[in-house]
Structure 1
Amino acid sequence: MTRPLESYRALFPVLQEQLYLNHAGVAPTSLRAAEAVRGWMDDLVYHGIKHERGWEAHCERVRGLAARLVNAEPGEVAFVRNTSHGLGLVAEGLDWKPGDEVAVASSLEYPSNVYPWQHLKDRGVSVREIEAPGGGITPEAVAAALTPRTRLVALSSVQFATGYRADLDAIGALCERAGVLFCVDGIQSIGCVPVDVKKSRIHFLSADSHKWMLGISGIGFLYVAKDVLPRLRPVLVGWRSTTDAWNFNRSHFELRPDAGKLEEGSAAYTGIYALGAALELLHEVGMDVIEARIRELLVRVEAGLSGLGCDVGPAPEHRAGILTFLPPVGEARALGNWLAERGVAYSLRRGRIRLSPHFYNLPEEMDRLVELVRTRL
């Protein structure tokens, strides 16, 4: 990638009015994504269904872009409405038996990665707690939670509240040795740092596009490793789930052998077109470049906040795109409200201010944030 990162700022007009540091919450989408959606809408408005084959072909290109982002095969990727939808398809689709256990850090995780597993109680499946007193899930904590009944380990690649980044490679290797399925909520890492589902031995990964992928709400993707696809029963089925989907003149119920069996009906074209433009942008910039830029920005803002006496975390070796802090005096909520009044987009999570810049943010913006905090203190 040789294009200056600053040149991409024009694609995000929100930067003209806000210091946007909330990509771990809801990110602004780009003019490219909006144009892609408008293009499809105009096609539908002016031409009706005339170009439907082209829409379908484009959806398959987007599927390929999503697969490439995580080093998967297109047949291992299904479009889903959101992260919860994908995780729910996994939770409800496996052939659980009474006595099975799912290892989850329920006290730490975002509810999307807790409730689907707790919902299995009436099927005799119990949730076994992964202890995470340090705000993150370590390989050692996962190992301590495993029992002969553990069927699956579910965790977030990056914890939403603390920003702690899990060692997916080490945990995936641990699960493989134990013969345990590995399911990842990837919404806080996909689009922020490189993720390789094969290298990390991940069986399932679900992520919505409205955060680091810079897409929109209501569309994301679910990765299912091809060796476990036969074990995942679709919760819902419809015409698109089958091998002869476009033949409406007969009933031929044979499920597709790939992840497409999890897509029961008509495609969400608006979301998929937006997702496609967002993924094209990420690939254009390059995930290695994006990761390096975000790391640079976090190092800069960490130094400035620490210099003011703020409690900052997580440590560099355990973070991806999130930095949280507490002011040395006063309440975080009061400081956050004051920052919001001055155009800073952030989140407050479990009592701490959470910052999450993306690749098009500037080092000078990190300095501006620090100066605002200094002024308030």
Structure 2
Amino acid sequence: MTTIDEYRQGFAEDPGYLDFASFGPMSKAVLAEQNALGEIHARGRYGAGSVFDEQDIRVREAVRRLTGFPTDRVVFQPNASMGLFHAMFGLTGQVLYSAREYPSIPVAAQRAAQALHSVDSITMQPPQGVVTPEVVRDNLTPATTAVAVSLVDYRTGYRSDLEGIRDVIGDRLLIVDAIQGFGVVEAAYELADVVVAGGQKWVRAGWGTGFLALSERAATDLVPLISGVTGTIVPLGSSYEEVPPPLQGAAAFQVTRTDPIAQARFATALEGIADVGVGAISGAITETVSSIIDLADEFALPVISSRDESERAGIVVLEPEPPQVTAITASLINHGITATVRDGLVRLSAHVSTGGETLGALRGALTSYATTVQY
């Protein structure tokens, strides 16, 4: 086992970085793995290609350790969005989701509806954008066959209650976009039928990494409509003169040969998370998030993300008065704080490597901002 301090020392981003909900700088181990396999790739030594072939089962085993889905129901994806397209295009019936979801879910659902006319895209308007079991229950119809939610909402930082949502939707398919919490939030993934995530945010594996995991029912019921050559049954020695049928299960949901170096980056990051434990990572982030909330309170900045530890992950959302948005944005920039400012909201997102120097820079930014505010 790796201690949380050992895990923390595996990162080297500059102080002031508070934007992990956008992307997380890669760990030292991930960078080293990329460089090592890149060197093998560059040399092309005889027999060295076998290391690339090994990365597929390696990454699926790493996903299994964190989600509980067996490796034969996990398939690597180049990003979370591709996994959602596979899921939405494989559905029939009505899929329900929040109109305020990150576009990955709505775009995939609407494209499937436009292209196939066998799936109906229905949205709900949850208060404050928070998808609760009660909101889901009130928007279900007899035609609803699937419900899609984010594990953690990108706008509000709210962590979905998967257990409660599963209770209210019954045997409908539950699709979870886990990208904003995967690797830093303990979640009941076994309650979901479809789980997708990318590795560029909290996993800190870089772009071009992700997975799609399916329940036994989803692996059987979803139609692998977007199934390319690597997702098909190609007999050994085939001349490719006929279009082969898709494979069975999760393996069907792939288009072409994946990037084995991306798989290795993702596997390295996931193995590191599994070794330290998601619970330990979550606990460390919880403490840092509490410190950020305390700073916001000290400077009278409204916190609109949840203060309840059971409802939050690594995101803190501040809502300054509209005339003050420019001032706080400038102050954050001037003090070297990397954050997201959108629609008048300031989103700060922390990881285990967010240390005292970053919190000190944030304090400096808020102190400077406070001098510009007239009461």
Residue in 2 aligned with 1:264?
255
CA distance in 2, matches of 1:48, 1:334: 56
Residues 1:370 and 2:363 are matched in the alignment: yes
Q: What's the % identity of the aligned pairs?
A: 26
> Does residue 26 of structure 1 match 2:41?
no
Match of 1:43 in 2: 40
* Distance of 1:264 and 1:322 partners within structure 2: 34
Which residue number in structure 1 is paired with residue 280 of structure 2?
A: 289
Aligned to 1:180: 172
| Counterpart-to-counterpart distance in 1, 2:66 and 2:163 | 17
Equivalent runs, 1:172-321 vs 2, <5 Å: 172-175=166-169, 177=170, 179-198=171-190, 201-243=191-233, 247-248=237-238, 253-317=244-308, 318-321=311-314
Structure 2 partner of 1:167: 161
Equivalent position to 1:116, from 108, 121, 130: 108
Does the 8 A contact of 1:77 with 1:221 survive in 2? yes
Query: What letter corresponds to residue 259 of structure 2 in structure 1?
Result: A
Structure 1 contact 69–195 (Cα < 8 Å) conserved: no
Shift of 1:245: 6.1
User: How much has 1:2 moved relative to structure 2?
Assistant: 5.8
CA RMSD of aligned residues (A): 2.2
SS in 1 for 2:85: helix
Residue 317 (structure 2) pairs with residue 324 (structure 1): yes
TM-score w.r.t. the length of structure 1 is 0.90
What SS does structure 2 have at the residue aligned with 1:120?
helix
Q: Are the aligned partners of 2:77 and 2:212 in contact in 1 as well (CA < 8 Å)?
A: yes
The one-letter amino acid of 2:349's match is: S
Is 1:54–2:51 an aligned residue pair?
yes
For the residue of structure 2 that corresponds to 1:22, the secondary structure is coil
How many angstroms apart in 2 are the aligned matches of 1:38 and 1:222?
26
Amino acid at match of 2:128: G
- CA pair 2-82 structure 1, distance change in 2 beyond 3 A: closer
1:88-139 alpha-carbon deviations (Å, 9 max, x no partner):
0111122x2xxx3221111x11111111112233305433222211231000
Report the 3-state secondary structure (helix = DSSP H, G, I; strand = E; otherwise coil) of the residue aligned with 2:146.
strand
Is 2:11 the counterpart of 1:12? yes
Tell me, yes or no, if the aligned pair for 1:102 and 1:153 is still in contact at 8 Å. yes
Distance 1:322 1:373 in 2: 17
Paired with 2:173 and 2:366, the residues of 1 have a C-alpha distance of 44
Work out whether residues 161 and 350 of structure 1, in 8 Å CA contact, stay in contact via their aligned partners in 2.
no
Higher mean Cα deviation, 343-352 or 295-304?
343-352
What letter corresponds to residue 186 of structure 1 in structure 2?
A
SS at match of 2:30: helix
Distance change in 2, residues 1:59/1:246 (3 Å): farther
- Gap change, CA 1:332 and 1:245, over 3 Å in 2: farther
CA distance in 2, matches of 1:48, 1:238: 29
Counterpart of 1:185, as a letter, is D
CA contact (8 A) 1:155 1:185 kept: yes
Per-residue CA deviations over 1:246-286 (Å, capped at 9, x if unaligned) read 54467793533231111232121121111111112212221
Change (3 A) 1:182 1:369: same
Answer yes or no: is the 8 Å Cα contact 1:71–1:196 preserved in 2: no
Q: Is the 8 A contact 1:297 1:363 kept in 2?
A: no
Structure 1 regions of 5+ residues with no counterpart?
none
For residues 222-243 of structure 1, what are the alpha-carbon distances to aligned partners after superposition, in whole Å with 9 as ceiling and x for unaligned? 1111222122222333442235
Question: Which shows bigger deviation, 338-347 or 232-241?
Answer: 232-241
Separation (CA, whole Å) in 1 of partners of 2:34 and 2:279: 28
In structure 2, runs of 5+ residues without a counterpart are 371-375
Match of 2:335 in 1: 342
Question: Deviation at 1:40?
Answer: 1.2
Q: Contact 1:161/1:349 (CA < 8 Å) preserved in 2?
A: no
Aligned to 1:138: 132
- Structure 1 stretch displaced more, 48-57 or 318-327: 48-57
Give the SS at the match of 2:217. Answer: coil
Q: Say if 1:158 and 1:165, in contact at 8 Å, map to a contact too.
A: yes
> In structure 1, what is the Cα distance between the partners aligned to 2:135 and 2:281?
30
CA contact (8 A) 1:105 1:137 kept: yes
Residue 151 in structure 1 maps to residue 141 in structure 2:
no
Deviation at 1:327, TM superposition (A): 3.4
